[in-house]
Amino acid sequence: MIRLTDITSKVLEYHPKADIELIEKAYVYSAKVHQGQIRLSGEPYLSHLLEAAYILTQLKMDVVCIAAGLLHDVIEDTPADLKEVTELFGEETANIVDGVTKISKIHFKNRELRQAENVRKMILAMSNDIRVILVKLADRLHNMRTLGFQSERKQKLIATETLDIYAPLAGRMGIHWIKSGLEDLCLYYLEPEIYTRIKNETSQRKNEIDTFIKEVKQRVSEKLTEVGIQATITGRQKNSYSIYRKMVDQDLNVSQVYDVIAFRVIVHSIKECYEVLGHIHSIWKPVQKRFKDYISVPKANMYQSLHTTVIGPFGERMEVQIRTWDMNLVAESGIAAHWRYKEGRGAGKTDESQFEWLKQLLGWQKDLQDPLEFLDTV
């Protein structure tokens, strides 16, 4: 089980001067008001709050957000009220807790309409403080990790809701490790046989995949060293849900899905990104119409990279992403990257322009009567 010291030490790693008193105070208060509450796993309810808060430290969030993570269920599940939380922890923390509570009270209707309505409501909640959504995503990720203690009926309901709402939202915010984590857990509960088949097949191909990754990394490294470009090259297997989607979309068996590996080349400048692209295309033939320049035209969530697909060393398609280290920070943590502690300014402060995409979405949704129509704009 995660302990308070795991959380505070993690915060001090990425912000040595952080005032962790608010986190410690939130922990003591949550332990008090949740005392005696037990989860279906048999663990104290406090364990869930600690896990959610720890996930927020993995996003390198500020102390207010992490304190709100520890407090996110006190209004809904204990005698505590918003007034008391505000008096004890301040308006900023209380507003995040209140926002998470409101999202948790949303009731769902039929599946498609439910998805649209909730994406809208969640983005509206996020308009005041994006940390509301980050806390909710951390809450949902840990709940999915412990879903096995629920009844089979609840497992299906919660996994479906997560796949419809929370995984896409994490993707829209650019937090892809949470998105892929949620997707794989949903697949495990919704399509257990397919999930197991994918895991078994990729496990059997491990040596082949490892050889493939080693070969590609070596070829790229040799070429870039030759031209004097310093780069970090990684190769990873795509998540199980991505492989599942390819099976469904292209009507394939697991063994027929070849592009299960994604490569990433990280360099120090934008100029080098385009140079690396040229060098990769000189090694392997690019696939027509599979190049995307998200550096010149970033995604709405500020994601930037060059994407290309080439015919790799064994005659199979492979995807390569090229980006700078700054772009990689945003690619890993999405919008959350802009709430990290910055030298010379307070935690959680960011440029107004960085949330321009939110303003656009909110402006569009006000003009739309049909929530399904709004979903199309997201």
How large a percentage of the chain has pLDDT more than 90? Answer: 59
Which whole number is the average pLDDT over 120-125? 59
pLDDT of residue 306: 98
Residue range 206-235: average pLDDT? Answer: 93
Mean pLDDT within 87-109: 86
Segment 133-140 mean pLDDT: 94
Cα dihedral: 12, 88, 47, 155 (round 10): -120
List Cα–Cα distances, 291 to 89, 169, 174, 285, 348, in angstroms: 49, 25, 20, 12, 35
Task: Determine contact, residues 106/121, Cβ cutoff 8 Å.
Answer: yes
The average pLDDT across 289-294 equals 93
Residue type, 227: V
Q: Is the pTM of this model over 0.95?
A: no
Q: In DSSP terms, which residues pair with 342 in a beta bridge? A: 345
User: Per-residue pLDDT for 184 more than 60?
Assistant: yes
Instruction: Tell me the sheet residues that pair with 309.
Output: 319
Please give the residue that has the higher pLDDT: either 106 or 218.
Answer: 218
142 near 182, Cβ under 8 Å? no
pLDDT level of residue 345 (50, 70, 90 thresholds): very low
Which residues does 355 contact at the CB level (< 8 Å), separation at least 6? 130, 335
- Tell me, what's the pLDDT at 150? 95
pLDDT digits (tens, 9 = 90+) for 241-251: 998 988 888 77
Token pair 């007034």 is found at 83
The pLDDT of residue 378 is 43
| pLDDT of the residue at 338 | 66
Backbone angles phi, psi at 295, to 5 degrees: -85, -50
**String of b and e for 36-49 (b: at least 16 CB within 10 Å)?**
eeeeeeeebbbbbb
Residue-range domains of the chain with CATH:
4-190 (1.10.3210.10), 205-327 (3.30.460.10)
Residue 109: its pLDDT value, please?
A: 57
Handedness of CA 248, 254, 258, 264 (dihedral sign): positive
pLDDT confidence of 356, banded at 50, 70, 90? low
Q: How many helices (H) and strands (E) does the chain have?
A: 19, 5
The catalytic residue positions are 76-77
Distances (CA, A) of 72 to 143, 171, 201, 251, 369: 13, 22, 40, 42, 31
pLDDT over 80 at 351, yes or no = no
- Of 96, 92, 97, 56, the C-alpha closest to 75 is 97
Mean pLDDT of 121-135: 74
Q: What is the mean pLDDT of residues 32-60?
A: 96
Among 162, 188, 167, which Cα is nearest to 178's?
Answer: 167
Does 30 have pLDDT greater than 70?
yes
Q: List the structure tokens of 126.
A: 């996020």
What pLDDT was estimated at residue 44?
Answer: 95
Q: What is the mean pLDDT of residues 135-161?
A: 95
